[in-house]
């Protein structure tokens, strides 16, 4: 049993080095290769929480991702956001990345997001991190994120600085808490078409670029696609509105490691 755990942990470490960062990206944004830095809605809690400043009703969402078919590496996420009258919004995100019964990287974040006038959104997130390896070690830490957005009529701009405190796990832990700065833009080409573009840097590697397109082919169906660098990946997916539920499916295609399908379901109260 111990040998099996070590083998599965070794696989996780190798893939982690390949991907550098393990921030969960919801299906809505994974399908266009972005983090949703300039977008709005509940899923921005994972990218730029300033995007929940102007939600109108409480929302709840669940997400699941299988990293690279044929491995046991998984991500799960729980989202909750609610409006604060005449102020902004509150958000809660709990995400877990790892191999069941072997290792887990848990992040729990609480967000306060506020709007200023009709054009500016801002957010502060406080995050709790826990990295656990079965029969080996557990380490805990805290971090903070800042998010900003500026809204024009057809263009939305966003910026986020993750882990502004530069927090880390103990020296014995081979996993890092990412420190990253990212910028994004969302352009409404028409009522049916959105174009997204982002760039980000974690201060340890080159700048990562991504771009994608969302096309609303029906009032209840949206098709999405995109590409990103570092590593080079291609993305595709769709969103389907069913009454008060929104179902998003997506897959990322790594040029060497294969595909990573995922599913997310959101409900607006």
**Whole-structure pTM value:** 0.90
At residue 136, the pLDDT reads 81
pLDDT tens digits along 35-82: 999 999 999 999 999 999 999 999 999 999 998 887 889 999 999 999
The encoded tokens of residue 120 equal: 């500016």
At residue 101, the pLDDT reads 87
Host H or E run for residue 12: helix 2-19
Q: Which residues of 154-175 are buried (b: 16+ CB within 10 A; e: fewer)?
A: eebbbbbebbeeeebbeeebeb
d(CA 100, CA 245): 28
At residue 19, the pLDDT reads 40
pLDDT higher than 70, residue 237 = yes
Phi, psi of 184 (to 5 degrees): -145, 155
d(CA 45, CA 266): 13
Percent of the chain past pLDDT 70, that is, above it, reads 90
The encoded tokens of residue 226 equal: 């995109």
d(CA 35, CA 200): 10
Q: Is 230 left (phi over 0), alpha (psi -120 to 50) or beta?
A: left
pLDDT tens digits along 79-107: 999 999 888 999 999 999 999 988 899 99
d(CA 73, CA 147): 29
Phi, psi of 42 (to 5 degrees): -60, -35
CA atoms within 13 A on the CB side of 104: 15
Burial class (CB in 10 A: 0-12, 13-18, 19+), 153: exposed
pLDDT tens digits along 155-174: 999 999 999 989 988 766 66
At residue 174, the pLDDT reads 61
Mean pLDDT of 110-130: 97
Phi, psi of 47 (to 5 degrees): -115, -65
User: How far, in Å, are 63, 93, 188, 211 from residue 223 at the CA level?
Assistant: 18, 26, 15, 15
In the chain the first and final C-alpha atoms are separated, in Å, by 45
């Amino acid at each position: 049993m111990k040998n099996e755990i070590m083998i599965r942990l070794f696989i996780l470490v190798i893939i982690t080095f390949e991907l550098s960062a393990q921030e969960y990206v919801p299906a809505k944004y994974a399908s266009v290769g972005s983090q949703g830095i300039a977008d709005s809605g509940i899923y921005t809690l994972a990218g730029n929480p300033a995007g929940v400043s102007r939600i109108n009703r409480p929302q709840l969402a669940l997400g699941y991702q299988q990293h690279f078919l044929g491995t046991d590496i998984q991500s799960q996420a729980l989202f909750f956001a609610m409006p604060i009258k005449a102020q902004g919004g509150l958000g809660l995100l709990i995400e877990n990345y790892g191999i069941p019964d072997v290792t887990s990287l848990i992040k729990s974040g609480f967000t306060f997001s506020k709007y200023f006038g009709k054009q500016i959104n801002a957010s502060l997130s406080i995050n709790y991190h826990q990295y656990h390896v079965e029969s080996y070690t557990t380490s805990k830490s805290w971090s903070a994120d800042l998010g900003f957005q500026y809204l024009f009529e057809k263009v939305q701009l966003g910026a986020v600085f993750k882990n502004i405190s530069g927090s880390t796990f103990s020296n014995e832990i081979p996993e890092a808490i990412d420190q990253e700065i990212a910028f994004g833009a969302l352009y409404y080409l028409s009522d049916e078409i959105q174009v997204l573009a982002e760039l980000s840097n974690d201060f340890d590697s080159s700048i990562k670029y991504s771009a994608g397109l969302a096309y609303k082919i029906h009032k209840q169906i949206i098709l999405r696609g995109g590409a990103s660098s570092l590593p080079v990946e291609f993305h595709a997916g769709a969103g389907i509105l069913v009454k008060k539920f929104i179902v998003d499916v997506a897959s990322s295609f790594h040029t060497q490691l294969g595909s990573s399908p995922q599913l997310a379901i959101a409900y607006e109260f």
